[in-house]
Structure 1
Amino acid sequence: MLIMIITVSLGSALGALCRYTIMQVAKPINQRYALPWATLSINLLGALLLGWLMTSSLPAWWQLFLGTGIMGGLTTFSTMINEIVLLAQNGRLKLASWYLGLSLLGGLTTVWLGTLL
């Protein structure tokens, strides 16, 4: 059990570091456009990789490290919801709705595509 906790923790830390780095690099893009492209892209990539990973024949500890750990640390539901609320509060309800729709439909689609890989 301790090995599983350490495996997930290390993966989660790596995923969070990757997300932070991507968000820093993408700051100019996010500032130029109203839609939070960095979070959307990260979450869709994570969904694609998670779809592939969970249907792969990798050993269980790799799935824990990569799926629960790295993908869990990389993707971020709470940031997406916060960005949707902020868009709506700033009078951009239509854009908030598009962002939510793209996130949900895009996430389902990319998980499905990942399972096909």
Structure 2
Amino acid sequence: MQLQILIGVALGGALGALGRYVMVSQVSHAFGPWLGGFPLGTLSVNVLGSFAMGLLVEAFALAWSPPEALRAFLTVGLLGAFTTFSTFSMEAVLLYERGALLPAAGYIGASVVLSITGFVAGLALVRAVVA
């Protein structure tokens, strides 16, 4: 693996994580009192990140061919840290567009159910050890 790609992912990841933190904090601060704890900040970064991923993927396919390190910086690093939901969205749509409807549905269902199950299992494990 090229060092430039690794550096690009690392730098993009740092900027994406910072952007996520700032946006979630700002949106939650601005709208939190009216939403009763609804995670609008997280929803906002997921939607914005997915939109940006769509823009980039289509631009890469139709109009722009940046170096691999820049692609990795923007997609895996920046958007991957800003929201992993953007990558999930891209992969689900790519499966669908390739005509793999059953795998796309399975991926979507499994991602949601297994991720929440994994989270609950982690909670349960810590609670069992600490309690």
Band the TM-score falls in, shorter-chain normalisation: 0.5 to 0.7
Structure 2 unaligned spans of 5+? 95-131
What count of residue pairs does the alignment treat as equivalent?
82
Does the CA contact (< 8 Å) of 2:28 and 2:39 recur in 1?
A: no
CA positional deviation for 1:32: 3.0
Identity of matched residues, %: 37
2:76 pairs with 1:74: no
- Alpha-carbon offset, residue 23 of structure 1: 1.7
C-alpha separation between the residues in 2 aligned to 1:76 and 1:37? 16
Alignment of 1:26 with 2:27, yes or no, is: yes
Tell me, yes or no, if structure 1 residue 63 matches structure 2 residue 71: yes
Per-residue deviation at 1:37?
A: 0.8
RCO higher in 1 or 2 (8 Å CA, sep ≥ 6)?
A: 1
Question: Which of 44, 48, 51 is the matching residue for 1:45?
Answer: 48
Say which one has the larger Rg: 2
RMSD: 2.4
The amino acid that maps onto 1:19 is: R
Give 3-state SS (helix, strand or coil) of 1:21's partner. helix
Rounded to whole Å, the distance in 2 between the matches of 1:53 and 1:67 is 8
Question: Which aligned segments of 4 or more residues in structure 1 are displaced greater than 4 angstroms?
Answer: none
CA apart distance, 1:31: 4.3
3-state SS of 2:6 partner: helix
For 1:76 and 1:54, locate their aligned partners in 2 and report how far apart those are by CA, in whole Å: 15
Is the CA contact (8 Å cut-off) linking 1:39 and 1:76 kept in structure 2? Answer: no
Q: Is the 8 A contact 2:24 2:42 kept in 1?
A: yes
Rounded Cα–Cα distance in structure 2 between residues aligned with 1:45 and 1:39: 10
Superposition deviation, residue 61 in structure 1 = 2.3
